[in-house]
Amino acid sequence: MERRMDARQLKIAAAQAALEHVSDGMRLGIGTGSTANEFVRLLAEKVHDGFRVQGVPTSEQTARLCMELGVPLFSLDELPELDLTIDGADELDGNLNLIKGGGGALLREKIVASASTRMIVIADESKVVETLGRFPLPIEVMPFGLASTRLAVERLAATLGLSGEIVQRPDRDGPYLTDGGHFILDASFGRIPDAEALANGLAAIAGVVEHGLFLHMADAAIIATAAGVRMLT
Ligand code: 5RP
């Protein structure tokens, strides 16, 4: 119980530090996940005190929390260019390359981050790895042709010397469905020495909608540790 509270405190500390990078009037991409939720809660307190922000959520779940707490929301079509996105990550390396999508929002997260001038990642130190791949890589795929797409992913992995289980993400009553109505394959490849080659290969598979490798996208990461918060740039 006590451990869980500690983990939450770290998320709050990272979120609090991220808030210092948000200026009045900013167009802001708002991430998904438990760390991003802490950011939304703190942002909502500032909005309540008169701080102005125009938020674009990266998932229906984040949209619900923002609406509940009074954070003003816009669609990406209304605000196609954003100043900053604050989002969590499942894993990050020292070069600020990320694995995202544990919460299933990778497609919208990547679109929103791509539309932003800057992206800042918020995470606790347990997410930092030397080489990406400890966390299973989420791959968002079209339901149509699932078996062929999975086969193509397996063949690509083999050519890159990667192996490991690829499982379709389940939900309570069937397959997990993303906000876009797609499936997710979670690929437990282990260490991914050439993330660039894997990202390019996945992007070239017709049935792959998007993958959770966010390479060269983050500008900084705020890492919360028991000893305090540090910034990776
Ligand atoms: C959602 C994500 C999240 O950012 C990621 O899963 C981290 O979540 P949490 O802060 O709960 O650990 O990519 O798709």
Global ipTM: 0.98
Joined together, the tokens standing for residue 127 give 């997410």
Catalytic residue among 109, 125, 130, 154: 109
Q: What ligand 1 atom has the least distance to the C-alpha of 36?
A: 10
Q: Whose CA is nearest to atom 4 of ligand 1?
A: 88
Quick one: what percent of the chain has pLDDT higher than 70?
98
Rounded Cα gap, residues 98 and 186, in angstroms: 15
Give CA separation, 203 vs 156, 197, 211, 219, in Å: 11, 10, 8, 22
**Is 34 labelled as part of a ligand binding site?**
yes
pTM: 0.96
Looking at domain 137-209, does it have CATH number 3.30.70.260?
yes
Phi, psi of 187 (to 5 degrees): -105, 110
What is the per-residue pLDDT across 43-92, written as a single tens digit (0 to 9) for each?
Answer: 999 999 999 999 999 999 999 999 999 999 999 999 999 999 999 999 99
- For the Cβ of 10 lying below 6 angstroms from any atom of ligand 1, the answer is no
| C-alpha of residue 100 to centroid of ligand 1, in Å | 6
**Is 32 labelled as part of a ligand binding site?**
yes
CB 190 within 8 A of CB 206: no
What ranges do the domains of the chain cover? 7-128+216-226, 137-209
What is the per-residue pLDDT across 99-133, written as a single tens digit (0 to 9) for each?
Answer: 999 999 999 999 999 999 999 999 999 999 999 99
- For the Cβ of 31 lying below 6 angstroms from any atom of ligand 1, the answer is yes
For the segment(s) 7-128+216-226, the CATH number from 3.40.225.10, 3.30.470.20, 3.40.50.1360, 3.90.1150.10 is 3.40.50.1360
Average of per-residue pLDDT across 5-14 = 91
What is the per-residue pLDDT across 134-193, written as a single tens digit (0 to 9) for each?
Answer: 999 999 999 999 999 999 999 999 999 999 999 999 999 999 999 999 999 999 999 999
Q: What ligand 1 atom has the least distance to the C-alpha of 127?
A: 12
- For the Cβ of 100 lying below 6 angstroms from any atom of ligand 1, the answer is yes
What is the per-residue pLDDT across 185-209, written as a single tens digit (0 to 9) for each?
Answer: 999 999 999 999 999 999 999 999 9
pLDDT for the residue numbered 2: 44
pLDDT for the residue numbered 56: 98
CA 138 to chain centre: 10
pLDDT at 1 over 90: no
- For the Cβ of 205 lying below 6 angstroms from any atom of ligand 1, the answer is no
pLDDT for the residue numbered 210: 98
Residue type, 209: V
Joined together, the tokens standing for residue 149 give 């797409």
Residue type, 64: R
